[in-house]
Each structure stands twice: as structure tokens, then as C-alpha cells.
Structure 1
Amino acid sequence: MDLLNLLWLFLIISSLVPLFRQKIIEADRLRLMRTIETKRGSRVIALIHRQESMSFLGFPVARYIDIQDSEQVLRAIKLTDPKLPIDIILHTPGGLVLAAEQIANALARHEGKVTVMVPHYAMSGGTMIALAADEILMDENAVLGPVDPQIGNFPAASILQVVAEKDRNRIDDETLILADISRKAIEQVKATIRRIASAHYPAEKAEFLAEELATGKWTHDYPITVDEARQLGLNVKTELPEEIYQLMNLYPQTQQRRPSVEYIPLPYPARPALPARKTKSE
């Protein structure tokens, strides 16, 4: 076999190995999800967004909540008996408002208990989905986020603030148009939160959540901790099943040339001690 054939063989193997590895990981995910379903008596839906490298060239693919996600989640809910509990695992920076609203509306209408599990973070649209749950299970260090709408590169609330503070005669037409869109977007998101949250919370609490989360009280990336979520009145608990962390390990981030975090992947019930040194007399 000459050098050229060896090169072609190497390229073929290099292109197939990541595919085989991905198929093995996907099979492991399904087995673990089935284990969680059997243990909890529920339908498990994972909405987990990572940057995954799918080809041997190593190009990462950024993920967020999109229409394809909403279509798949809606199909999963449709295939679930109305009285069967649903456990949805969320790990997402957010995404399209339309897609998040569709998922949240479908979960809010589900007759069986809906539990949202957040191992690390569920920001923006992820938080909107969490509001549709009967119960939110979070890691002690996990966070949610505000759901205030963003218009282009700017928060809708900030656009309205500029228009309110600046002389109207010195504001260009485009900014005024953006302000009109911002006003409508905030009202629409508030109405959505009220509708979704009212399925599990009193009307006054739903109104409070809409005002706190959709009006730009915080920056869009502000992390709402477990304690703050409870202060908002959300039904948050921290008894996250151990299998959720195991499942997250099956959604690896894109491998870098040098790992930025390293540790021995074993539980430490106590502080590890170094072995005693032997002296020469021993």
C-alpha cells in the first residue's frame, strides 16, 4: 500500500471515528434517560444546548432554543399520556421567544405533573419554560435568568429609557420605531408570563413574576440564584437526582487543545490524605 492510499485510509477513519463515538454517546444517553424514567415514573425530555464538535475538522456548532427544538418537544409531549408526569431537563442560554413560548404553553397545558430540572443554568427562554412547571429542581449553584425581550443588540427596556430621557425632537425615526417595537415586545412577554405562570401560581403572583422578569429590572444575563428564585415565589427545590449530572457528562463540550478545568472525577467523602513517608530507620 503506497503513501497516498494510507493517507486516504487515514482521512476515512478520521471522519468515521467521531460519528461512531457520537452514536455510542447517544445510545448511552437514551439508556440513562430510560433509567430516570423508570425510577421517577415519568417521560424525560432533555433540552440541553452545548457546543458539540461533530466532524473530524472540529468545527463547533453553537446551540440555542430554536423552532426545531420546539417542534421536537411538542411531538414528545403529544406522544405522552396527558396524566403521565413530564421531567424536562434544561441546560440552555435561551433562544427564540416563539420557540420558548410554544414549549412553555404546551407544558402549562399538560395535565400531569411537570418538573423542570436545571443542573447548571436555564437563562432567558429557559426560564420562561421553567415558569410552566409545577416544580423546579435546581442544583444549589444553578441559576435562572430574566426574560426581558431584546430588540436587535439592545434590551427593549433600555431603548424605552433612552426615548423617555432624550428630547423627542433629537431622536431619529429608527429609534422611535424600535421604541414602539420594544413597548409591544415587553407587553407581549408579560402577557405570556402571566398566562403560563397562572397555571400554577395565583393571579397576583403571576402578575408579580411578569413585572419582575420581563421589564428590564436586571441585565439580560443576570443570574437568578436559588435563593432569589424562592424570594420571587417560585416553587424551587434542590433535590436534583444524581442521574441528571451523569446525563450532563454525556453532553461534552467541544474539546480544546488544553483542558481549562481538571480534577479527579471521584467523590471525596473526606479530605484526601497523603501517604505517610517512611524514614530510613523504618
Structure 2
Amino acid sequence: MDWGNLILLFFVISSLIPMIKQRGVETERIRLIRSIEKKRGSRVITMIHRQESMSLLGIPISRYINIEDSEHVLRAIRLTPPELPIDIILHTPGGLVLASEQIAYALQRHHAKVTVLVPHYAMSGGTMLALAADEILMDENAVLGPVDPQLGQYPAASIIKVTKEKDINEIDDNTLILADMAQKAMRQVENTIYNLLVDEIPEEKSRELARTFSEGRWTHDYPIKVDELKEMGIPVKVGLPKEVYELMELYPQPAGRRPSVQYIPIPYVIPGKEKPRS
């Protein structure tokens, strides 16, 4: 074998290794998903949006809830018997309102119990999905977020505020049009959240919560913690199966850059606090 063939073989092997490695990761993900399903007697659906090493031309692709996600989740729900509970594991910054609403209403219409599991965060559209569930299980440090709509780079609530604080003759037509769209978007999201909550929570409380989540009282990335959610009357419980955390480890950030956080990945035991052996 000459040098040319050796170089060609090297490039072929180098291109196959990432594919083989990714296939192994996907197999391990499926194993863990099946393990959670057997333990909880449910169908597990994951929606985990984080950058992975498989990216476009080496550039990590930003992930969020989109129409493709809604198509896949709706298909998974259709394939689930009405009497089988659904567990959906969420890790997402949010995404398109249309896609989030489609998934949320499909989860609400499922006859059996729907549980959302949040190991780290489910913001914006992810919070909308959580509010559609019968039960929300969260890590004690996990958060949800506001569901106030955004128009381009601006919060809808802030656009409306401009039109209330400035003389209409000093506002350009483009801003007035945006304000009209912002009002419609906020009304749409508020009605959606109300519809998702009203079957489980009294009507007046559902209206109040719908306004709280959609009116723009916080910045869009405000973290709503477990204690705050409980005070609002949202059915939140703390505690996740250990397999959920193991599954999250199989969705790594892009390789090829120095990690900013490092630790020895084993549980530590305080001396003198060891568990007795059986």
C-alpha cells in the first residue's frame, strides 16, 4: 500500500469515527429512555436543546422549539395509547409560539397523566409546555420563565409601553404597527396559558396566572424558581429520577474547546458519614 492510499484510508477512518461515536451515544440515550419508561410506566419524550459536537461546518447550531419539533412530538403523542402516561423531559430556552402552542394543546388533550420533567431550565415556550402538564417535576435548582411574546429583538410589552408614554404624533408608523401586533401577540399568549390552566385551576386564578406569565412584568430571561411557582399555585414537585441526569450527560456541549467548569465526576462522601453496608 502506497502513501496515497494510506492518507486516503486515514481520512476515511477519521470521518467515520465521529459517526460511530454519535451512534453509540444515541444507543445509550435510547437505553436510558427505555429504563425511565419501565420504571415509571410511561412513554418518554425528550426535548433537549443544547449545542452538540455534530454541527454545521464545525459551527454549533443554536437550538430552540421549532415546527420540526412540534411535528415529532405530535407524532409521538399519536403513537401513544390514550391510557398510557406521557413523561416529557424539557431542557430548552423556548422557541416559536406556534410550535409551542401546538405541542402544549396536544399534551393537554392526552387522556392519561402528562408529567413534565425539568432538570435545569425550560424557559418561554418550554414553560408553556410545562403549564400544559398535569404535574411538573423539577430539580430543586431548576427554573421556568415568563412566556411574554417577543417581536424581533423587542419584548411586546415594551413596544406597547412606548405608545402609552409618547404622544402618538411623535411615534412612527412602523412602531405603531409593531404595537398593534404586540397587543395581539400578548392577548393570544395570555388566552393560551389560561386555556392550559383552567381545567386544573379555578377560573379566576387561571386568569391571574395567565396575566402574570404573559404581561412582561419581568425580563424574558427571568428565572422563576420552584418556591415562586409553588406560591403561584403551580403544581410543582421537587425530585427527578437519576436516569434523567444521566441522560443529560449524553447531550454534551461542543467538543474542541476548553471547558469552563471542571470537577471530579463522582459523588463525594463526608468522612464518618458513609452508608453502612448491608
**Letter matched to residue 65 of structure 1:** I
| Per-residue CA distance 1:192-239 (angstroms, 9 max, x = gap) | 001111232221221111110001010000011111111111111112
Residue pairs, 1:92-111, within 5 angstroms:
92-111=92-111
Give the equivalent residue in structure 2 for 1:278. Answer: none
CA distance in 1, matches of 2:141, 2:149: 25
Give the equivalent residue in structure 2 for 1:276. Answer: none
Give the equivalent residue in structure 2 for 1:129. Answer: 129
Larger mean Cα displacement after TM superposition, 240-249 or 8-17? 8-17
**Does 1:151 find its partner at 2:119?**
no
**Letter matched to residue 155 of structure 1:** P
Give the equivalent residue in structure 2 for 1:24. Answer: 24
**SS at structure 1 position matched to 2:117:** strand
Change (3 A) 1:209 1:271: farther
Change (3 A) 1:87 1:102: same
Name the Cα RMSD after superposition.
1.5
| Per-residue CA distance 1:43-69 (angstroms, 9 max, x = gap) | 100010110121695331221100010
**Does 1:59 find its partner at 2:67?**
no
**TM-aligned CA deviation for residue 4 of structure 1:** 3.5
Gaps of 5+ in 1: 273-282
Residue pairs, 1:107-122, within 5 angstroms:
107-122=107-122
Contact preservation (8 Å) 1:90, 1:122: yes
CA distance in 2, matches of 1:2, 1:91: 50
**SS at structure 2 position matched to 1:53:** coil
Give the equivalent residue in structure 2 for 1:230. Answer: 230
Q: How high is the TM-score relative to the length of structure 2?
A: 0.94
Larger mean Cα displacement after TM superposition, 246-255 or 56-65? 56-65
**Does 1:205 find its partner at 2:192?**
no
**SS at structure 1 position matched to 2:34:** helix
Contact preservation (8 Å) 2:49, 2:92: yes
**SS at structure 2 position matched to 1:258:** coil
**SS at structure 2 position matched to 1:82:** coil
**Does 1:74 find its partner at 2:98?**
no
Deviating runs (4+, > 4 A) in structure 1?
none
Gaps of 5+ in 2: 273-278
**Letter matched to residue 64 of structure 2:** Y
**Letter matched to residue 207 of structure 2:** E
CA distance in 2, matches of 1:133, 1:55: 32
**Letter matched to residue 219 of structure 1:** T
Larger mean Cα displacement after TM superposition, 54-63 or 251-260? 54-63
**TM-aligned CA deviation for residue 248 of structure 1:** 0.4
CA distance in 2, matches of 1:162, 1:7: 63
Give the equivalent residue in structure 1 for 2:270. Answer: 270
Give the equivalent residue in structure 2 for 1:277. Answer: none
Change (3 A) 1:271 1:58: farther
**SS at structure 1 position matched to 2:87:** strand
Larger mean Cα displacement after TM superposition, 177-186 or 57-66? 57-66
**TM-aligned CA deviation for residue 271 of structure 1:** 5.9
Contact preservation (8 Å) 1:121, 1:142: yes
CA distance in 2, matches of 1:95, 1:38: 31
CA distance in 2, matches of 1:153, 1:11: 43
**SS at structure 1 position matched to 2:19:** helix
Residue pairs, 1:174-213, within 5 angstroms:
174-213=174-213
Give the equivalent residue in structure 1 for 2:255. Answer: 255
**Letter matched to residue 18 of structure 2:** P
**SS at structure 2 position matched to 1:245:** helix
